């Protein structure tokens, strides 16, 4: 991660797409003028639900607001299902500037009246910075409890207060200001630490000017027409009126005769409120009761929910366990319409008192089940743990409660909803792609074919298999993807084949991060690391990750300047070549840390903005994205999130991409790098990464796609599907040519071990809950790196539990990464033993995990049926069977077994 990484809670990305498309519009949303970064918020506007042709039931009146009388002896099925949804809350951000008790000082107050853990991320603009860059404020301005963010910003938590005019509880922070002619403005954004969302003003940082000059910036707070005292670039800032007082009647002071009267400037106070919309998790439920009508022998279903507003049931029936959607015969409830001859949609009727809604449905007796999902508006669909709700009818309704729940939970991914594309079977389409992959596998495994094909041809076929898998993953993923690599039933040979691709390496790689946050301070890190090459090779590492090699504004290397200048704080270019050659001699591949998202400029433009580059790549401001508010770029809009400390490079420009490809190829040839660790890839589209990797042909590549996990009121959610989906989407955008650091697994391990909640280590489908559970061959797992640990400590792994983390990483699929500080510590012998076991049992990035136990105090799993692992203080022993288990490694709260040979 780059040098100004803030903390593990970063930007919040958009939700995964829902499975249903081409729907009639209900309750359309209207845009709100306030935005947050990176996604624009919408506030609800309401429209009346369109009423369609309806049918009436002969037995019950659908307009009744009372539930049908179901005697307990008549009920075949009764269940209440939890519904989890997001609701948008509207509130306000307040900004107030007023004189303090000391009339020579002023006070800036920023508040928010929505619940949350709010953080003010702020800094100042100095006059000679032309208002485009942030700086640290003077120490006397910084409120108690603040945290310094590098050398450019402050983070201050907002505290609860009841000082608002309406009397409601608000969160606010106060900043003391003394008149200072060097400070032009205060800039800030508001961050909700629970969700990781950053709130901005009209897509830009909030700006409160402290000096008066003309300008029309849309992000100004408390704007007033200025007097134009500050010309030029400073004219872009405008907000507060600086008054020149010609008399000596200052508040709280008496005039002194005989003194020379000097012009005094004072700020003018203001109070401004801005709208804010926040998404919060809300728990609701729906209850379903089933009985059989003795007169008609049909099934009667009563649905009742506490969901607010208009709720539409998208429903159908099925005859057997294939769960194929069909439309039951009329009569149907009122407010029902047919959807594409595949399903029905019914508007539930409001209950008495307006709290909740309900509906009654009739199903013929020859159907075996009732299928449905719920719709609240155009973009809000609710289902059951990623699948359609399935209500068993007939004898299945008499199953014991526990067995019935198990059947619901185990509903497979092959079920068809009534909204599939017309004339296309998902199963048939899936089978077609799988058949294609199997044909390629058969082709390459055939002895006769092998004799005819060259090695190059075989590698081409392997690459094609990887691409087909990535394509299938993209086509069939949903908000809860059901496709995993294990679906591709490739023959498992006794000796797993060595398959080289840039996304996986050989599949058996073990990565060492070869530096920490302080490594640059010696000035000769390359030479120090060179001395450890033989030892790292003997420990079993196959790949080494070196720090950024280029000249950099920051000593750690993550603010690159001249990309072709390889004289850094870690050593010079000759020492870099030497250390790479030394590791090659001991059989270790070497990755270069490539910072492609941003670059520090050499010169200012005519407005005093640093966006003109020098050196061999002497780009101008066309190479900078146009929507970064700090650097006045003339390129296209960014394809990702901005990194505000340096100009964000516009990768859509042909000359930029060509120069970067040429530079990467030069590094491969000149230095001997075997691959790349790519910094801050969230800042630009993964398709550009594919372009760079196709050109430079690395042995191995991994991207750092880091953003916030999902939290509810400060507690990590069990379901992190949305988070790992965003990482998987980026990998897929690269066409699988790069892996990605499995931040999801890092976060879940962190929480599980820290809070003794080992149940978190299994998702709802019984698989590992991180990227390693969905696309293991592209997951690079880790527990610590130079940002999270070392002297930075932004998200340090729970102390004393590091070896539990490595017991998990080094026995599970994915490509494990071990942090330098942990290797050369008292953990060395235990890490070495785990690496040896991994190699001995040929555990690789595609190994198969079977989770045996995931409870409060213990997690246990078997891998490839040859390795068993237990972490946590709880008890577990692998089951005895035809193959005996031998305990080979044991440490504090972890054990590892292997099958006795």
Using CB atoms within 10 A of its CB, is residue 274 exposed (0-12), middle (13-18) or buried (19+)? middle
As given in the structure block, the two tokens for residue 738 are 């790069």
∠ CA 778-780-782, rounded to 5° = 160
Question: How many CB atoms neighbour CB 136 within 10 A?
Answer: 16
Phi-psi region of 394 (alpha: psi -120 to 50; beta: other; left: phi over 0): left
Q: Which of 192, 641, 659, 679 is catalytic?
A: 679
Residue with tokens 């075949």: 76
∠ CA 779-783-786, rounded to 5° = 105
Q: Is the dihedral of CA 309, 314, 317, 320 positive or negative?
A: negative
* 3-state secondary structure string across 145-187: CCEEECCCEEEEECEEECCCCCCCCEEEEEEEECCCCCEEEEE
723 phi and psi angles, rounded to 5 deg = -70, -50
User: Is residue 704 among the annotated active site residues?
Assistant: yes
Q: Nearest to residue 148, comparing CAs of 2, 3, 6?
A: 6
Residues 269 and 100: their CA atoms lie apart, in Å, by: 11
User: Is residue 679 among the annotated active site residues?
Assistant: yes
Q: Which of 133, 205, 704, 784 is catalytic?
A: 704
CA max distance for the chain: 109
How far lies 853's CA from each of 749, 856, 876, 882, in Å? 15, 10, 8, 21
Q: Could you tell me which residues come within 8 angstroms of residue 786 by beta carbon, excluding any fewer than 6 positions away?
A: 1, 513, 515, 516, 517, 556, 792, 819
Helix-helix angle 828-840:802-809, to 10 degrees: 10
Residues 568 and 557: their CA atoms lie apart, in Å, by: 7
DSSP 651-674: TTSHHHHHHHHHHHHHHHHHT---
* Type and span of the H or E element at 649: none
As given in the structure block, the two tokens for residue 391 are 């209500």
Residue with tokens 């009209």: 202
As given in the structure block, the two tokens for residue 777 are 């061959």
How far lies 493's CA from each of 346, 490, 497, 500, 561, in Å? 53, 9, 8, 17, 49
Residues taking part in catalysis: 679, 704
């Amino acid at each position: 991660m780059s040098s100004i990484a803030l903390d593990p809670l970063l930007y919040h990305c958009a939700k995964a797409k829902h499975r249903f498309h081409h729907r009639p519009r209900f309750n359309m949303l209207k845009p709100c003028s306030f935005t947050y970064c990176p996604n624009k918020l919408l506030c609800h506007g309401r429209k009346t639900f369109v009423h369609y042709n309806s049918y009436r039931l002969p037995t019950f009146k659908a307009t009744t607001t009372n539930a049908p009388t179901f005697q307990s002896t008549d009920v075949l099925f009764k269940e209440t299902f939890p519904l989890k949804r997001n609701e948008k809350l509207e509130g306000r951000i307040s900004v107030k500037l007023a004189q303090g008790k000391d009339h020579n000082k002023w006070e800036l107050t920023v508040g928010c009246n929505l619940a949350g853990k709010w953080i003010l991320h702020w800094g100042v603009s100095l006059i000679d910075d032309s208002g485009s860059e942030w700086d640290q404020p003077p120490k006397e301005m910084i409120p108690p409890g603040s945290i310094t963010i590098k050398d450019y910003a402050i983070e201050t938590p907002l505290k609860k207060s009841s000082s608002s005019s309406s009397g409601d509880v608000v969160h606010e922070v106060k900043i003391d200001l003394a008149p200072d002619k060097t400070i032009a403005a205060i800039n800030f954004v508001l961050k909700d630490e629970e969700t990781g969302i950053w709130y901005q003003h009209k897509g830009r940082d909030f700006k409160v000017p402290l000096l008066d000059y003309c300008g029309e910036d849309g992000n100004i707070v408390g704007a007033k027409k200025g007097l134009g005292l500050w010309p030029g670039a400073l004219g872009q800032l405008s907000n507060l009126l600086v008054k020149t007082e010609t008399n000596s009647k200052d508040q709280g002071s008496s005039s002194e005769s005989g003194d020379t009267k000097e012009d005094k400037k004072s700020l003018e106070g203001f109070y401004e409120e801005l709208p804010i919309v926040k998404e919060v998790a809300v728990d609701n439920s729906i209850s379903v009761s089933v009985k059989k009508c003795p007169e008609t022998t049909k099934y009667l279903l009563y649905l009742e929910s506490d969901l607010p507003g208009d709720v539409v049931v998208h429903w159908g029936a099925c005859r057997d366990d294939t769960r194929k959607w069909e439309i039951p015969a009329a009569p149907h409830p009122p407010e029902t319409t047919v959807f594409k001859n595949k399903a029905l949609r019914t508007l539930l009727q409001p209950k008495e008192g307006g709290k909740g809604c309900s509906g009654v449905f009739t199903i013929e007796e020859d159907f075996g089940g009732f299928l449905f999902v719920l719709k609240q508006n155009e973009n809000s669909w609710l289902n059951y743990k990623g699948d359609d709700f399935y209500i068993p009818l007939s004898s299945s309704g008499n199953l014991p409660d526990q067995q019935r729940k198990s059947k619901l939970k185990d509903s497979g991914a092959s079920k068809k909803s009534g909204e599939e594309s017309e004339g296309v079977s998902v199963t048939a389409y899936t089978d077609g792609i799988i058949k294609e992959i199997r044909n390629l596998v058969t082709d390459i495994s055939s002895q006769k074919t092998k004799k005819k094909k060259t090695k190059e041809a075989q590698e081409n076929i392997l690459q094609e298999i990887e691409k087909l898998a990535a394509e299938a993953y993209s086509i069939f993923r949903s908000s809860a993807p059901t496709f995993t690599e294990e679906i591709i039933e490739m023959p498992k040979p006794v000796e797993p084949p060595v398959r080289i691709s840039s996304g996986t390496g050989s599949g058996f790689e073990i990565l060492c991060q070869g530096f920490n946050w302080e490594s640059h301070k010696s000035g000769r890190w390359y030479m120090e690391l060179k001395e450890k090459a033989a030892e790292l090779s003997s420990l079993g590492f196959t790949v080494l990750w070196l720090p950024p090699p280029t000249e950099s504004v920051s000593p750690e290397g993550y603010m690159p300047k001249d990309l072709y200048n390889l004289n850094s704080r870690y050593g010079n270019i000759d020492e870099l070549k030497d250390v790479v050659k030394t590791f090659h001699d001991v059989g270790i591949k070497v990755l270069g840390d490539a910072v492609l998202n941003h670059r520090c400029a050499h010169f200012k433009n005519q407005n005093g903005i640093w966006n003109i580059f020098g050196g061999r790549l002497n780009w101008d401001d066309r190479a900078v994205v146009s929507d970064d508010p700090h650097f006045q770029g003339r390129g296209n809009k960014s394809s990702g999130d901005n990194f505000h400390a340096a100009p964000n490079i516009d990768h859509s420009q042909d000359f930029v991409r060509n120069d970067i490809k040429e530079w990467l190829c030069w590094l491969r040839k000149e230095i001997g790098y075997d691959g790349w660790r790519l910094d801050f890839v969230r800042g630009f589209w993964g398709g550009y990464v594919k372009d760079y990797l196709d050109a430079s042909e690395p042995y191995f590549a991994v991207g750092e796609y880091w953003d916030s996990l999902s939290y509810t009121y400060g507690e990590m959610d069990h379901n992190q599907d949305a988070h790992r989906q965003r990482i998987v989407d980026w990998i897929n955008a690269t066409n699988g040519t790069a892996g990605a650091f499995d931040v999801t697994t890092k976060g879940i391990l962190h929480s599980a071990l820290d809070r003794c909640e080992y149940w978190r280590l299994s998702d709802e489908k019984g698989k590992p809950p991180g990227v390693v559970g969905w696309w293991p061959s592209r997951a690079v797992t880790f527990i610590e790196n130079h940002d999270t640990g070392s002297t930075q400590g932004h998200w340090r792994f729970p102390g004393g539990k590091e070896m539990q983390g490595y017991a998990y990483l080094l026995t599970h699929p994915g490509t494990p990464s071990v942090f330098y500080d942990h290797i050369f510590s008292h953990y060395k012998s235990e890490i070495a033993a785990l690496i040896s076991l991994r190699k001995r049992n040929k555990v690789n990035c595609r190994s198969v995990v079977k989770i045996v136990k995931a409870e409060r105090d213990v997690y246990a799993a078997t891998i490839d049926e040859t390795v068993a692992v237990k972490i946590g203080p709880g008890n577990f022993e692998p089951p005895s069977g035809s193959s005996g288990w031998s305990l080979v490694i044991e440490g504090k709260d972890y054990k590892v077994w292997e099958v006795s040979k």
